[in-house]
Each structure stands twice: as structure tokens, then as C-alpha cells.
Amino acid sequence: MIKQELTYWVTLALIPKMWTKRKNEIYVKCYQHEPQTSIVDLFEDSSNWDVVGLNDVEKSQFAEARAQLPNNSFLVEELIAQGYDILPMTHDEYPKILKKNLQYNAPTVIYTKGNKAILQEASIAIVGSRSADTLSLTFTDNIAKKAVSENKVVVSGFAKGVDRQALDSAVGANGKSIIVLPQGIMTFGSGFKQYYKQVAQGNVLVMSTFAPKAPWSVEFAMARNPIIYGMASEIFVAQSDDKGGTWSGVIDGLRKNRPIYVRYPNKNEKNANLQLIQKGASAVDINGQILTLSVEEKKAPEQLQKEKFDLQIIEILNNVDMISAKDIIQRLNIEWKDDKMKRYLNNLQQVEKKKIGARVYYSLKGKKPQQQQLQLDL
């Protein structure tokens, strides 16, 4: 693709306050129009703006973007001179898997440095917390090395914790990796120095979807996560909280029926891995082998503990006609107040409340009274 066209593609990608999906829709209309409207004609001939259906706000945005063409031309020259590649979504080397997974939300342009052939190879993503524990990092190491042995590329986001472990494990096993940046590619100087050998050898490719000179930001870190997931045919989760980038990425992936594998946690772990498994992700062991779990094994420890507690209450109620909340507390030998037990009993579907005089008693729904009536605590 000639430099002139790249300048216009970069200009389209850098239009502020316009969703990526809308930018891609506009170009698709250019492509579908008879005769086809080129990316150059889209900017240079404003009569095309009506052809592709721009509204007044979008026309103003394109007019402002057109004024940036000289600056963007210099930017393209600078990128090419420093060895970066610019890949519009129509380019043959643009990652096909990214367009397949994200469709109209795929980045309009990506910026890369390294072996572009990696972009078309089978790949997996290993994701997880920045503050991952030792077990999660061991899992990450195992999965990365397994991917390398299967000639798969490991995709990561270069954050601390799981991301960095995934990259270093793949590199250490002489495998291939893609680093998806939460910043502009021209601001990754220290990273290029650290992985210069691997980039030069063709084993590591660095890519960014943001303005080339944009600094790191939290907003970019969150926006990068869908790209990591989109670049992979399989997603492995080492450790997730119940909110944040990993959690939202997996939930979105499950909605789209993406193959997602989550490390099955030990009983005492404090993470949301089990919750993701309950929502439909496949459970895997420390080596990435798929586990067949029973209904009980998919339950969280808190849920199992509650079910056990409920059964103890039901057993007590099954042996009496009626009983007070105070008596249940005594039989369970727990330090609860009467009001707390009453609230708890009111939420149990199998239990019904009966009021005798000023006292409240509880019994099982549908249970027939015993022949010998027990003495009530009157």
C-alpha cells in the first residue's frame, strides 16, 4: 500500500469522538458503492460524504480531520523510517482472526513492529490479574510452554503479573508471542530495548491500536483487553477478580461463545475463577487439561457451607411440629441473635411461620403434625 493511502487511513483512524465501528461502517459503504470510493476520495471529495451517509456532525469531523492530513503524512513517514508497519483493516497482512472475532469493532488501523507473519498463526491468550499468586503464575508458565510445543503464538498485554509471565515463558521456551500495547507503539522504547533480540529474530511482534505517540493510560489499558481476546482462538484465565478487565473480557467472550478455559481454584483461594466456571467457562487443571466437574464441584465454598447450614435447620424442623428461633439457635450452638435467625428463616422456602399468641414459631411447609405434640416454649 502506497504511503499516500496510509496517510488517509491513519487520518480516518485518528478521528476523535467517533466510534471505531462507525469508521469501519463508513469505509464499507465506500467499498460497496458503485463505482467504489477510495480512501483518498473519501477525504478529498466532500461530495462523497453524502454518498456514504455522513450526518452533519460527521461531516464536520471529516473536515477537521482533512486539515490534519499534512501532519499525519509526516507521522506516516516517521513511522516507516523507524521500522514500524501500518496495517489498515483492508491490508492482506491485517490479522484475519481479529476481524473474525471483532467484526465491525476491529481496529481500523493497527501499528506493528516485528514479524507480521505471526499475525496469521494459531494463537492463544493467557489473561489474569496483575497481582496474581504463585499458583496462577505457575499455571501461566505451563500454558505458555504448552502453546509453544503446539506451535501456537501466545498473546499478552505486557502488564505485570500474568501478562508478563505469559510473554517471558513463551520467549524462554523459544516460542512466538504478540504484545498488545495499552499505549502508542512509538512510546514503547524501553520495551523494544528489552525484547530487541526476540523482535529482531522474528519471535515477538509488538502491536498497538492507539495513536502512535499516545502515552499509557488506564483507559487504553481497558480498551486494549478486547484486542487481546480478539487476537486469540483460545483464551486461558489464570486468575480473575469479580470485576475489572479480565472479568469483563471473559463475560463478553462467554456471551459470544468464545472458547474460554479457566483454572479451577483450590478451596481457600480468594478469586472469581469458580464464578466464571459457573457462568459457562470450561474448567482446567494446573496444566490446562479440561476437567469434568460435578454439580457440587462447581459450587463455591460459601454456597456449600450455606447448603449444609440449611440442611441442619431442615433436619431440626423435621423432628418437631413447631419451634422458636431461639431454640433453633440453641440446637445449632451458634452465637446469633433471635432477629437474625428470624430473618434467615423467613428466606427459606421450605419454612413457614406460625404465630401463637405473642410468640412466633417455625415449621416445615406441608409437614403433618406428630401424634404426640411437643411442648412449646410458652
Q: What would the pLDDT profile of 122-144 be if each residue is shown by its tens digit?
A: 999 999 999 999 999 999 999 99
Q: Kindly state the average pLDDT of the residues 191-213.
A: 96
Q: What is the pTM of this model?
A: 0.80
Is the predicted pLDDT of residue 101 greater than 60, yes or no? yes
The pLDDT value recorded for residue 371 is 53
Going by pLDDT thresholds of 50, 70 and 90, the confidence category of residue 377 is very low
Statement: residue 245 has pLDDT above 90 = no
Between 319 and 119, the higher pLDDT residue: 119
**DSSP H helical ranges for the chain:** 3-13, 20-32, 39-44, 48-51, 56-66, 69-81, 96-102, 134-149, 162-172, 189-194, 196-201, 218-230, 245-255, 273-278, 301-318, 325-332, 338-346
Q: What are the backbone dihedrals phi and psi of residue 118, each rounded to the nearest 5 degrees, phi first?
A: -60, -30
Q: Which of 200, 216, 123, 197 is nearest to 166 (CA)?
A: 123
Cα 204 to Cα 154: distance, rounded to the nearest angstrom: 10
Largest alpha-carbon pair distance within the chain?
96
Which residues lie closer than 8 Å to 251 by C-beta, 6 or more apart? 276, 279
The percent of residues above 70 in pLDDT, for the chain, comes to: 96
Collapsing DSSP to helix, strand or coil, 372 comes out as: coil
What digits encode the pLDDT tens for the residues 303-362? Answer: 767 878 888 888 898 888 889 999 999 999 998 998 999 999 999 988 998 888 888 999
* DSSP code per residue over 276-295: HHHTTPEEE-TTSPBP---T
Task: State yes or no: pLDDT of 196 exceeds 50.
Answer: yes
Asked whether residue 376 carries a pLDDT value surpassing 80, the answer given is no
What is the SS3 assignment for 59-93? Answer: HHHHHHHHCCHHHHHHHHHHHHHCCCEEEECCCCC
pLDDT, residue 373, reads 47
Looking at residue 268, its pLDDT comes to 82
For the cut 60, the answer to whether the pLDDT of residue 372 exceeds it is no
The pLDDT tens digits for 3-62 are 889 999 999 999 999 999 999 999 999 888 888 899 999 999 999 999 899 999 999 999
pLDDT reported for residue 55: 96
Reduced to 3 states (helix: H, G, I; strand: E, B; else coil), residue 204 is: strand
Q: What is the mean pLDDT of residues 109-123?
A: 97
**In the structure grid, which three cell numbers stand for residue 223, read together?**
480498551
C-alpha cell at 307: 447448603
With cut-offs at 50, 70 and 90, classify the pLDDT of residue 370. low
Residue 374 in this model has a pLDDT that exceeds 60:
no
Look at residue 375 in the predicted model and tell me its pLDDT.
47
Q: Flag whether pLDDT at 88 surpasses 50.
A: yes
pLDDT band at 87 (very low <50, low <70, confident <90, very high): very high
| pLDDT at residue 366 tops 90 | no
Q: Indicate the pLDDT class of residue 300, thresholds 50, 70 and 90.
A: low
